[in-house]
């Protein structure tokens, strides 16, 4: 499982011109599910991200989590995080989990993050989405489990 976490002042997801998720300040999490991923990775990453200290305190140090600042999150399923570009010019996605496995794990991750106390919204699995990210900092963190 791979997560690209961006600290945002504002984030928004639209499908066919309709806003389906919007947050700010908080996190936009691009989540990739790989072959062999399970609920174990879901639980680990949800807990890790909820408590990850990437927000600034009064002294400007990154000592606060999204929970500490009362932030929200949007989770966007992103199988392209498993792109393999070692051969040729077109990425291969053979290491991404198939939709019938990935979709329920994304839903479990959204529920798990919300269960940690982070108000969490999600994109639309498999849809063509317009994702707006106002990266704050910029702060972008890559997590893999």
Question: Among this protein's residues, is 62 annotated catalytic?
Answer: no
Out of 40, 59, 62, 78, the active site residue is: 78
pLDDT digits (tens, 9 = 90+) for 61-93: 999 999 999 999 999 999 999 999 999 999 999
Q: pLDDT at position 109, please?
A: 98
HEC states along the chain? CEEEEEEEEEEEEEECCEEEEEECCEEEEEEECECCCCHHHHHHHHHHHHHCCCEECCCCCEEECCCCCCCEEEEEECHHHHCECCCCCCCECCCECCHHHHHHHHHHHHHHHHHCCCCEEECCCCCCCEEEEEEEEEEEEEEEC
78 belongs to the catalytic site: yes
Contact (CB, 8 A) for 55 and 33? no
* Amino acid 26: pLDDT: 98
How are beta strands 55-56 and 26-32 bridged, if at all? unpaired
| Catalytic residue of the set 6, 55, 79, 120 | 79
pLDDT, residue 86, reads 93
Give the chain's residues under pLDDT 70: none
């Amino acid at each position: 499982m791979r997560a690209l976490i961006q600290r945002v002042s504002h984030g928004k997801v639209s499908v066919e011109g309709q806003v389906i998720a919007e947050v700010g300040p908080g996190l936009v999490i691009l989540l990739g599910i790989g072959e062999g991923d399970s609920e174990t990775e879901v639980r680990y990453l949800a807990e890790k991200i909820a408590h990850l200290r990437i927000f600034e305190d009064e002294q400007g140090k990154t000592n606060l989590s999204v929970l500490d600042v009362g932030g929200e999150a949007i989770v966007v399923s992103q199988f392209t995080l498993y792109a393999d570009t070692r051969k040729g010019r077109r990425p291969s996605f053979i290491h991404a989990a198939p939709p019938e496995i990935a979709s329920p794990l994304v839903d479990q991750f959204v529920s798990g993050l919300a269960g940690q106390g982070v108000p969490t919204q999600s994109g639309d699995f498999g849809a063509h989405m317009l994702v707006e990210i106002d990266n704050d900092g910029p702060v972008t963190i890559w997590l893999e489990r």
